[in-house]
Amino acid sequence: MQTQLAEKNVAYSEEKMKQKIALFAWFAASLIVLGWWYYQFGLNPELSRTLRNESQIYLIIGMAVLSFPSGLLYLYLFGLLVYGLDSVGVDLHKYEMLEVLILWGGIVLSGYLQFFILFPFVRENFRFRQAQKSIHH
């Protein structure tokens, strides 16, 4: 009985360590996408404001891949936010770095919630239900 409990604790610890490594790697990749965009486009004073705003597509694509599918939902909500602010006279495009940080931060948050909160919760509930089924059969 105690060896089974000890094995479960080891397996649980190993899974938690894997989850922490995955979180670190995922967040590092997100920072690399942001840093690459900032280095290539944000720091280039020769680019016009229009080209810098259009260059955000590279940031969007990179982050959408890293946070799929929740990142796409956030992009839609971000578009609604920008549209709503624009309709009341606030042009977020004038504040390029703020716009990029809100965009990036929201996608990172949505991806984090999806991959490191929601998915583990669903996986644990699935495992629990499978264990309950095997006990009752």
Per-residue confidence in pLDDT tens, the chain, 137 aa: 566 656 666 667 888 899 999 999 999 999 999 999 888 887 776 777 677 777 888 899 999 999 999 999 999 999 999 999 999 998 887 888 888 899 999 999 999 999 999 999 999 899 888 888 888 76
- Is 47 within the bounds of a domain? yes
In a domain, 5, yes or no: no
Beta carbons of 110 and 30 less than 8 angstroms apart? no
Taking the CB of residue 128, how many other CB atoms lie within 10 A of it? 10
Does the residue 34 lie in any domain?
A: yes
Helices (H), 1-137: 2-37, 49-54, 56-66, 70-87, 96-112, 119-136
Residue 119 falls inside a structural domain? yes
105 within some domain = yes
73 within some domain: yes
15 assigned to some structural domain: no
Q: Is 48 exposed, middle or buried (0-12, 13-18, 19+ CB in 10 A)?
A: exposed
What pLDDT does 137 receive?
Answer: 66
Two tokens, residue 135 = 């006990």
Separation of alpha carbons 136 and 33, rounded Å = 49
Could you tell me the residue range of the domain that residue 81 belongs to? 27-132
Residue 42 falls inside a structural domain: yes
Q: What tokens were used for 136? A: 């009752």
Please give the tally of structural domains in the chain.
1
